[in-house]
Amino acid sequence: MAQHAAPLSAPYSATPRRPLLRRVFGRDWKIAFVFIAPIVILMLLFIAWPFIKALYTSLTIRNMATREDVFVGFDNYVRLYSDPFYRQAVKATVIYTLGSIVTKLIFGMCAALLLHGQKRLRNLLTGLVLLPWIVPSVVQALTWKSIYDPLFGGLNPILIGLGLIEREIAWLSEPSTAMAAVVAVNVWAGIPFFTVNILAGLSAIDKEMYEAAEIDGANRWQSFLHITLPSLRYVIAVATLLSTIWTFNGFETVWLLTNGGPGNITKVYSILAYQKAIGSLQYGPGTAVAFSLTPILAGFILLLSRYMRRDVSREEMDVVTWQDRVIDGIGWVIGAIGTVIAYPIILVGSLINRALPKGANSKKRDEALSGLLRGIGLALLLCFVLFPFYWILITSFKSDLQISQRTSIFWPGPWTTEQFYSLFYEQPFTVWFTNSTIVAISTTALSVLIAALGAYALARLKFFGAQTMQTLLLITYLLPGALMFIPLYQILADLGVINTRLALILTYPTGMIPFATWLLMGYYRAIPEELEHAAMVDGATRLGAFIRVTLPLTTPALLAVTLFSFTAAWKEYLFAFVFISSERLMTLPVGLATTIYGDIYPWGLLMAASLIISIPVVIFYMWGQRFMVQGLTAGSVKG
Q: What is the CATH number of the domain that holds 489?
A: 1.10.3720.10
Q: Are 393 and 611 in contact (CB under 8 A)?
A: yes
Give pTM, 2 decimals: 0.81
Mean pLDDT computed over 550-563: 84
Mean pLDDT computed over 435-455: 93
For residue 307, what pLDDT is reported?
60
Q: pLDDT tens digits for 375-433?
A: 888 888 889 999 999 999 999 999 988 888 887 888 998 899 999 999 999 999 999 99
Residues 93 and 125 in one domain: yes
Q: pLDDT tens digits for 385-395?
A: 999 999 999 99
Contacts of 31 (CB under 8 A, 6+ apart): 461, 542, 543
User: How many H helices and E strands in the chain?
Assistant: 32, 2
What is the 8-class DSSP label of residue 60? E
Residues 350 and 440 in one domain: no
- Write the single-letter amino acid at 229: L
Residues 384 and 440 in one domain: no
Residue 399, domain member (yes or no): no
Contacts of 573 (CB under 8 A, 6+ apart): 136, 137, 138, 252, 256, 589, 590
What is the 8-class DSSP label of residue 546? I
Sign of CA dihedral 631, 635, 637, 639: positive
Residues 160 and 213 in one domain: yes
Long-range Cβ contacts of 334-342 (<8 Å, 24+ apart) = 334/105, 334/233, 334/236, 334/237, 334/240, 335/229, 335/230, 335/232, 335/233, 335/236, 337/102, 337/105, 337/106, 338/105, 338/109, 338/229, 338/236, 339/225, 339/229, 341/106, 341/109, 341/110, 342/221, 342/224
Contacts of 170 (CB under 8 A, 6+ apart): 150, 177
Contacts of 74 (CB under 8 A, 6+ apart): 59
CB atoms under 10 Å from CB of 639, counted, come to 17
Least confident of 1-5, 67-71, 89-93, 566-570: 1-5
Mean pLDDT computed over 434-448: 94
Residues 436 and 369 in one domain: no
Q: pLDDT tens digits for 200-217?
A: 788 778 777 877 877 777
For residue 392, what pLDDT is reported?
93
Residues 302 and 383 in one domain: yes
Given a cut of 60, is residue 312 above it in pLDDT?
no
Cα–Cα dist 39/487, whole Å: 20
Q: Are 453 and 521 in contact (CB under 8 A)?
A: no
Given a cut of 90, is residue 503 above it in pLDDT?
yes
Q: Are 441 and 506 in contact (CB under 8 A)?
A: no
Least confident of 19-33, 50-64, 385-399, 610-624: 19-33
Given a cut of 60, is residue 596 above it in pLDDT?
yes
Residue 59, domain member (yes or no): no
Q: Are 140 and 134 in contact (CB under 8 A)?
A: no
Residues 187 and 99 in one domain: yes
Residue 288, domain member (yes or no): no
CB atoms under 10 Å from CB of 506, counted, come to 23
For residue 637, what pLDDT is reported?
40
> What percent of the chain has pLDDT above 90?
23
Mean pLDDT computed over 314-343: 57
Residues 347 and 428 in one domain: no
Residues 309 and 430 in one domain: no
If DSSP codes are grouped into helix, strand and coil, which group holds residue 69?
A: strand
| Residue finishing a domain among 393, 427, 460 | 393
pLDDT-derived band at 341, boundaries 50, 70, 90: low
- Per the model's pLDDT, the better-predicted residue between 33 and 28 turns out to be 33
Q: pLDDT tens digits for 449-480?
A: 999 998 888 888 887 777 778 777 777 766 66
If DSSP codes are grouped into helix, strand and coil, which group holds residue 603?
A: helix
Given a cut of 80, is residue 131 above it in pLDDT?
yes
Q: What residues form DSSP beta bridges with 63?
A: 68
Mean pLDDT computed over 586-591: 91
Given a cut of 50, is residue 491 above it in pLDDT?
yes
Residue 61, domain member (yes or no): no
Mean pLDDT computed over 184-203: 87
Residue numbers of the domain that contains 484: 417-639
**Separation of CA 422 from chain center:** 33
Residues 451 and 513 in one domain: yes
Cα–Cα dist 301/320, whole Å: 18
pLDDT-derived band at 221, boundaries 50, 70, 90: low
For residue 14, what pLDDT is reported?
47
Residue 530, domain member (yes or no): yes
Residue 113, domain member (yes or no): yes
Number of domains in the chain: 2
Q: Please list, residue by residue across 61-95, b when 16 or more beta carbons sit within 10 angstroms of its beta carbon and e when fewer do.
A: bbeeeeeebeebeeebbeebeeeeebebbbebbeb
Length of the chain: 639
Contacts of 17 (CB under 8 A, 6+ apart): none
Nearest to 374 by CA among 200, 103, 116: 116
**Separation of CA 117 from chain center:** 26
The overall average pLDDT reported for the chain is 80
Cα–Cα dist 469/455, whole Å: 11
> What percent of the chain has pLDDT above 70?
80
Residues 421 and 327 in one domain: no
For residue 324, what pLDDT is reported?
60
Given a cut of 90, is residue 359 above it in pLDDT?
no
Using N-to-C axis directions, what is the helix angle for 29-43 and 509-525, rounded to 10°? Answer: 150
Residue 567, domain member (yes or no): yes
Q: pLDDT tens digits for 151-180?
A: 889 999 999 988 888 888 999 999 999 999
Cα–Cα dist 504/579, whole Å: 8
Residues 326 and 429 in one domain: no
| Residue finishing a domain among 393, 427, 455 | 393
Given a cut of 50, is residue 595 above it in pLDDT?
yes
For residue 432, what pLDDT is reported?
94
Residue 350, domain member (yes or no): yes
For residue 634, what pLDDT is reported?
47
For residue 265, what pLDDT is reported?
94
| Residue finishing a domain among 336, 360, 393 | 393
